[in-house]
Amino acid sequence: MYRTLKDVGPTDSTRLAAAERIISTPGFQKAPADTNPPVADGAEPAAATVRRRRRIGVLLSVALCAYLLDLGSKLLVVAKLEYHNPIHLIGGDWVMLQATRNPGAAFGMGAAMTIVFTIIAASVIVVICRLARKLYSLPWAIALGLLLGGAFGNLTDRIFRSPGIFRGEVVDFISVRDFAVFNLADSAIVCGGILVVILSFLGTNPDGSVQAAATRAGTERPGEQDGDDKA
């Protein structure tokens, strides 16, 4: 049952000798069997990481642009327009530039709840930062950027303007007849909110997936597809 050296043919001897030379060669290392090790569970592919970082870059760029526009306009209004007559833009008093200080929300509501609106603005910022960790959708990046920039703009007023920290009054200056007096931060928040509603209605998620397709796949019964295939 066991083969001796005599039973080994010339071809087998050559193979054994070659194997012995390889094994006995100093510094010889066996080539790895797999040059592409498997990705650990939960690890993010490199392409997805790059895409997410680009979307976060878009979010931060939009937020920074909205914030700087709001901050610059408020500084200009406080320096040039406050305690002065309003500037009429369209149709007499239909659209005016009129500097006001608003301790509450839109339409002057909640004037005694300034600290509550400060907490809400800070909470919005935290939620957006959490969503950014799984952000792969460009439209969502723009929408969240508008919300983030607007929230930061009004939060800056709440923290740094009189009468005190977390109780500061927001500077509003765009006055529309029979409507609220607002600022560019409010405009960014409204535009971002409208875009979020549209994206949600279309079923698009921040991670780029489509909710409608996922819902159909989850609610589809296993027998239905089999029955269709049989038909």
Q: Which residues are catalytic?
A: 172, 186
Neighbours of 43 (CB within 10 A): 10
* φ/ψ (deg, to 5) at 50: -65, -40
Name the DSSP letter for residue 43: P
CA separation (Å) from 76 to 44, 46, 88, 103? 45, 45, 17, 20
Q: Confirm if 117 and 105 have CB atoms less than 8 A apart.
A: yes
Tally Cβ neighbours within 10 Å of residue 166. Answer: 13
Per DSSP, the residues of 121-150 read HHHHHHHHHHHGGG---HHHHHHHHHHHHH
**Are 95 and 89 spatial neighbours (Cβ–Cβ below 8 Å)?**
yes
| Nearest to 144, CA basis, from 56, 54, 59, 53 | 59
